Amino acid sequence: MKKILISLVTSIALFGGAVAQAAPEERLMPDVHLFLPSEEAFPLSEFLPARRWVLLVVDASLPAGRACLDALTSKQDGFGENLWIVVVGNAKELQQQIKGYDKLAGARWLRADSALLSQLHLSGTPAMLGMTAGRQIAWQHAGIPHAPEQLPLMVKNWIGQSGTLSSSGINQ
């Protein structure tokens, strides 16, 4: 609990004027409709990480999402599958984002339609959710931080390690 509070306080300080809030204790991520780059449905419940992870939701058509992705690529090391990037848009937009951000190749890239925002109770994008092992939403942020270059640090602070996660760390 102490680590969660420290991460939340650090995140609030870094995000400045952006909306930052702790998620209710019992808030679980609902079953949402996500798609792989191949356009196959992604059954969320079958692939949940067994450790902390970050869900970043970006709109492919908005500069704010690109600013967040640019900030995350500023670090040479990847975050592995502890970082899930969901692009709100169509399959072509997802493919463009994947090609444009090849330094984030280790992240899990997914696509969703705009209904995802209401399903996750998000007011807009970009949005970042700190997830505990499984589907528990520990915290969420909406908007661009005043210091976007701090995004990689925020992700690493939450996941608590260098960011690599082998496939054996995924519940299947």
Q: What is the domain-level CATH number for residue 42?
A: 3.40.30.10
Rounded-to-integer distance, Cα 137 and Cα 52, Å: 10
- Please indicate whether residue 44 or residue 122 has the higher confidence score (pLDDT): 122
- Please indicate whether residue 48 or residue 10 has the higher confidence score (pLDDT): 48
Retrieve residue 153's tokens.
Answer: 């640090």
Q: Please indicate, yes or no, if residue 166 is contained in any of the structural domains.
A: no
Q: Please indicate, yes or no, if residue 81 is contained in any of the structural domains.
A: yes
Q: Please indicate, yes or no, if residue 169 is contained in any of the structural domains.
A: no
Structural domain that includes position 39: 2-160
Comparing 20-34, 38-52, 54-68, the range with the smallest average pLDDT is: 20-34
Rounded-to-integer distance, Cα 75 and Cα 88, Å: 24
Is 60 exceeded by the pLDDT of residue 2?
no
Mean pLDDT of 75-102: 87
Is 90 exceeded by the pLDDT of residue 50?
no
Q: Please indicate, yes or no, if residue 170 is contained in any of the structural domains.
A: no
Phi, psi of 84 (to 5 degrees): -110, 125
Q: Please indicate, yes or no, if residue 172 is contained in any of the structural domains.
A: no
Rounded-to-integer distance, Cα 91 and Cα 109, Å: 11
Our count of domains for the chain comes to 1
